[in-house]
A and B are shown apart, each in its own frame.
Chain A
Amino acid sequence: MSSIENNVQELIARRAASELKGPSVVNLGIGIPTLVAKYVEDELIHFHTENGLLGVTDVEEEDPNLVNAGKLPVGERVGASFFSSAESFGMIRGGHVDVAILGALQVDETGRIANWAIPGKNIIGVGGAMDLLVGAKKVIVTTSHLTRDGKSKLMKICTFPLTSTRSVDMIITELAVFSVVNEQLILTELMPGATLEQVRESTEANFLEGGFE
């Protein structure tokens, strides 16, 4: 990964972290969402990982049997608990997780996302994405604004299969922050260095321009 891509991911992760307010239980997806944790200092934010841990923290001593959903080594904080996958997804579907931060391959203009399959590609996995989308009280998507070949990921209609019919609540890219209200994207913030023109040019989806500075 280039250092520019790296910086973009860190920028997005830091912005997402600022959305989190304790007390809160937060599930982080794979990719940019995983980076969010290092920007969170609030002790009242507890990270949940669907493979069976509430209380994820930085890795102290690497243990191959203590991992997050991306199979990366993690640590367990004071007050952590372990549970089975069935109980973990009961927490998710049952509405006990306050915020899920997820990656996306595409977002449509009603705020629905596609993040589990690419037609014609050998990606045969869905993991917990569909469960998190129906169960988390708030869903924040963190993604680069454009694909590697420069196409907008914020599209009128997703061409990849949808992960859920539920619209997410917020989309954070390196260019902008959008809220989703009544299945309508609303531009609420420009990211540092980004211009409105740039956001308009880089966004295929229709969006309202909210009252931002």
Chain B
Amino acid sequence: MAIVYEKVENALSEIKSGMTIMVGGFGLVGAPLTLIEGLSGKDVDGLTIISNNLGEAGEGLGVLLRQRKIRKAIGSYFTSNREVGEAFQRGEIDLQLLPQGTLAEAMRAGGAGIGGFYTKTGVGTELAQGKGIREINGEPYVFEQALKADVAIIRAHKADTLGNLIYYKTARNFNPVMATAADLVIAEVDEIVAAGELSAEEVVTPHLFVDRLIVAKKILTKEGVIHRKQCTRADCEACCQ
């Protein structure tokens, strides 16, 4: 069950240096941009970030990278922010690369009480080096360990006051699986509605996974990342509420 927070800094109060944090999103799509901005204003460092990418240069998690708050990142595609490779070459950050499906499944396993799993993905490649191989029905599979985190910050479309979540189009991506795999789950949403307003059939993330809710103040639009109040579109009522 979730508690609604008005202030971002209060929602993030438990986050401390050295923690492991899952961050939703596929690039900036479905990334919790308000909570990331909140983290950028917090005096923490040495974070391990589990996220498909580290945002883009100077956007989303790219801000935390520039601030050198991230000690290690676990993800599948860091190429979308060229500054990640540059920071890696300078020795400022550790990177652990996983195939995208393995990244998703490792979190699913972590959230479902599974210690790890065997997959064919990556067998015989550089990304399987040093990992256990087991033959199942005559085919080699590689062992991948589950992933868990201290905190997950995620993005959903709507929440009800209990913390049930629904998502919007391809902004769903890694968010539902991250909601299951962290000790503290903070969701950023476009709108919080009364319990009962979301159909029980449509709920994607049941409220038992969600601890804290906050309404998004920083959002992705066609014009880029904006603060809600700065939105100047003629049809803003539709896009911002």
CB pair B99 A130 closer than 8 Å = yes
Q: Determine the distance from Cα of A124 to Cα of B89 in the docked complex, in whole angstroms.
A: 11
| In the assembled complex, A64 has its CB within 8 A of some CB on chain B | yes
Name the distance in Å between A122's Cβ and chain B's nearest Cβ.
3
CB pair B170 A124 closer than 8 Å = no
| In the assembled complex, B127 has its CB within 8 A of some CB on chain A | yes
| In the assembled complex, B46 has its CB within 8 A of some CB on chain A | no
CB pair A130 B79 closer than 8 Å = no
CB contact under 8 A between A122 and B82, given known A89-B104, A127-B76, A128-B99: yes
Q: Determine the distance from Cα of A138 to Cα of B197 in the docked complex, in whole angstroms.
A: 44
Give chain B residues whose Cβ lies under 8 Å from the Cβ of A52: 26, 170, 172-173
Q: B30's closest neighbor in chain A, by CB?
A: A65
Taking a contact as CB atoms closer than 8 A, the residue among B29, B30, B124 that contacts A165 in the complex is B124
Q: B109's closest neighbor in chain A, by CB?
A: A86
Of the four ranges (under 10, 10 to 19, 20 to 34, 35 or more), the interface on chain B belongs to 35 or more
| In the assembled complex, A39 has its CB within 8 A of some CB on chain B | no
CB pair B169 A66 closer than 8 Å = yes
| In the assembled complex, B5 has its CB within 8 A of some CB on chain A | no
Q: Determine the distance from Cα of A163 to Cα of B127 in the docked complex, in whole angstroms.
A: 9
| In the assembled complex, A172 has its CB within 8 A of some CB on chain B | no
Q: Give how many A residues have a beta carbon under 8 Å from the other chain's beta carbons.
A: 41
| In the assembled complex, A71 has its CB within 8 A of some CB on chain B | yes
Taking a contact as CB atoms closer than 8 A, the residue among A64, A65, A83, A134 that contacts B123 in the complex is A134
CB pair A126 B97 closer than 8 Å = yes
| In the assembled complex, B84 has its CB within 8 A of some CB on chain A | yes
Q: Determine the distance from Cα of A53 to Cα of B112 in the docked complex, in whole angstroms.
A: 24
Name the distance in Å between B16's Cβ and chain A's nearest Cβ.
27
Q: Which residues between 61 and 109 of chain B lie within 8 Å of chain A, taking CB atoms?
A: 76-80, 82, 84-86, 88-89, 95, 97-105, 107-108
Q: Determine the distance from Cα of A117 to Cα of B85 in the docked complex, in whole angstroms.
A: 12
Taking a contact as CB atoms closer than 8 A, the residue among B119, B169, B220 that contacts A93 in the complex is B119
CB pair A127 B97 closer than 8 Å = no
Q: Determine the distance from Cα of A62 to Cα of B167 in the docked complex, in whole angstroms.
A: 18
Give chain B residues whose Cβ lies under 8 Å from the Cβ of A127: 76-77, 99-100
**Chain A interface helix/strand/loop/mixed:** loop
CB pair A89 B100 closer than 8 Å = yes
Taking a contact as CB atoms closer than 8 A, the residue among B79, B167, B168, B176 that contacts A125 in the complex is B79
Q: Determine the distance from Cα of A128 to Cα of B103 in the docked complex, in whole angstroms.
A: 10
CB contact under 8 A between A131 and B121, given known A62-B222, A89-B101, A122-B86: yes
CB pair A128 B100 closer than 8 Å = yes
CB contact under 8 A between A84 and B121, given known A53-B170, A89-B100, A92-B101: no
CB contact under 8 A between A84 and B77, given known A89-B105, A122-B89, A131-B99: no
| 27 residue pairs from A and B, CB less than 8 Å apart | A63-B169, A64-B220, A64-B221, A65-B30, A65-B171, A67-B170, A82-B170, A84-B172, A84-B174, A84-B204, A85-B52, A85-B174, A86-B104, A86-B107, A117-B126, A122-B85, A122-B88, A122-B89, A124-B84, A125-B53, A125-B97, A126-B97, A127-B77, A128-B99, A129-B99, A162-B124, A164-B123
